[in-house]
Amino acid sequence: MSVATSSGGTPPGPPESRRIVLLRHAKADWPEVSDHERPLADRGRMDAPVAGRRLGETGIAFDLALCSTAARTRETWKLAVHELPHRPKTVYEERLYDASLGDLIALLNETDDSVNDLLVIGHNPGVHALADALAGKAEGDALARMTQSGFPTSSFAVVGFTGSWKSLEHGVGTLLEYWAPHD
């Protein structure tokens, strides 16, 4: 039996499995510059490559990386990306800086459905709130560890979900993994 679509073409296949990885920037310094221009501290410059290596160990080949335009996120990404086996296309996105949970979900809803695995390099409290909001369930102790740690600098969460990016909303995902550099 054949199922026709509204356009008369082939029926859609099964919904796509997708992953979003939310990486908090590495530890920043506090020099006399605007918040947006704060660079990484020495510890941040040490932790960012470690986070990059750990991201590489997940085996995820990112289709796209969205990075905040803040200096500390750009520097984190520059140090982390060299540790990945594959360098994804990178878009520096101003809206990630100081974004609320609603802003982040709206931004992710704009992602093209050709992207299956997305990396977001951003800031707290937004990345932690987004990981928590998307994770309707979790594998193993990932949620407990994320909750206990408070999502420190250089940590990341991997959330899986099925469907279109436009369907991304509270509770649709599964927290697959959580990692922090000083666990």
The dihedral formed by the CA atoms of 109, 150, 117 and 175, expressed in degrees to the nearest 10:
-90
> Does 4 reside within a domain?
no
> Does 3 reside within a domain?
no
Instruction: Kindly report the CATH number assigned to the domain that includes residue 123.
Output: 3.40.50.1240
> Does 34 reside within a domain?
yes
> Does 5 reside within a domain?
no
Residue 11 has pLDDT above 90, yes or no: no
User: 41, 147 in Cβ contact below 8 A?
Assistant: no
User: 54, 23 in Cβ contact below 8 A?
Assistant: no
Model pLDDT for residues 28-62, shown as the tens digit of each residue: 999 999 999 999 999 999 999 999 999 999 999 99
pLDDT at 12: 55
Confidence of residue 182 (pLDDT cuts 50, 70, 90): confident
**pLDDT average, residue stretch 3-12:** 41
Query: By mean pLDDT, which of 3-7, 13-17, 73-77 is the weakest?
Result: 3-7
| C-alpha–C-alpha distance, residues 68 and 59, integer Å | 23
- In which domain, by residue range, is 103 found? 17-179
> Does 1 reside within a domain?
no
Model pLDDT for residues 103-144, shown as the tens digit of each residue: 999 999 999 999 999 999 999 999 999 999 999 999 999 999
Residue 146 has pLDDT above 70, yes or no: yes
> Does 96 reside within a domain?
yes
> Does 2 reside within a domain?
no
> Rounded mean pLDDT of the chain?
92
Please report, rounded to a whole number, the percentage of residues in the chain having pLDDT higher than 70. 92
Beta-strand runs (E) in the chain? 17-24, 64-68, 89-93, 117-122, 135-138, 156-162, 173-179
> Does 146 reside within a domain?
yes
Residue 165 has pLDDT above 60, yes or no: yes
pLDDT at 4: 33
| C-alpha–C-alpha distance, residues 140 and 137, integer Å | 10
Model pLDDT for residues 19-29, shown as the tens digit of each residue: 999 999 999 99
Confidence of residue 9 (pLDDT cuts 50, 70, 90): very low
Split into its structural domains, the chain has a count of 1
Confidence of residue 8 (pLDDT cuts 50, 70, 90): very low
